[in-house]
């Protein structure tokens, strides 16, 4: 599936091809912090399909508890997280679903790191809902 993405301010734009069956929610504490939210939704794009059309993301190198380092790309102006990838020769870019125009058609297929999930993140059905702000 061809997708287009951009950061909030529009400086960074890209296109890629993703497999909608590979959308994953990650409940790890790094994703909670780096997304500023309860969990992160991502979908991998094979490197050869990812084309950065505009802008130059800033890279934050995150070191995991295991020692693995990973490049996290974000917009230097608006701070939107755009993707993460291996530092050298990444086989794929893990695109942040919230930046993808077609995100409504990319429901998650899998949840990982559920041991560290924020307990309330699993079911929001019963939380009071309003159509807009
Ligand atoms: Zn931006
Ligand atoms: Zn994570």
Query: What confidence tens digit (pLDDT) does each residue in 88-98 have?
Result: 999 999 999 99
Give the Å distance between the CA of 23 and the centre of ligand 2.
Answer: 13
Give the Å distance between the CA of 83 and the centre of ligand 2.
Answer: 12
Helix (H) or strand (E) holding 35: helix 29-35
Give the Å distance between the CA of 34 and the centre of ligand 2.
Answer: 9
Helix (H) or strand (E) holding 106: none
Q: Quick one: which of 65, 71, 80, 79 has its CA closest to 113?
A: 65
Residue 35 has pLDDT above 90, yes or no: yes
Q: Angle CA(47)–CA(10)–CA(50) in degrees, nearest 5? A: 10
Give the Å distance between the CA of 100 and the centre of ligand 2.
Answer: 18
Strand order in the sheet with 13-17: 2-6, 13-17, 51-54
- Residue range 17-39: mean pLDDT, rounded: 97
Report pTM. Answer: 0.94
Rounded to a whole number of angstroms, the distance between the first and last alpha carbons of the chain is 32
Question: What CA–CA distance (Å, rounded) separates 125 from 133?
Answer: 17
């Amino acid at each position: 599936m061809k997708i287009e993405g951009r950061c909030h301010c529009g400086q960074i734009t890209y296109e890629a091809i993703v497999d909608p069956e590979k959308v994953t929610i990650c409940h790890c504490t790094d994703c909670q912090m780096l997304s500023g939210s309860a969990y992160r939704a991502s979908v991998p794009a094979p490197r050869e399909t990812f084309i950065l059309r505009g802008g130059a993301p800033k890279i934050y190198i995150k070191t995991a508890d295991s020692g693995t380092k990973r490049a996290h790309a974000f917009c230097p102006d608006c701070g939107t997280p755009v993707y993460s990838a291996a530092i050298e020769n990444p086989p794929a870019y893990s695109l942040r679903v919230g930046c993808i125009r077609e995100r409504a058609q990319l429901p998650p297929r899998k949840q990982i790191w559920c041991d560290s999930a924020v307990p309330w993140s699993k079911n929001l059905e019963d939380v009071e809902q309003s159509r807009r702000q």
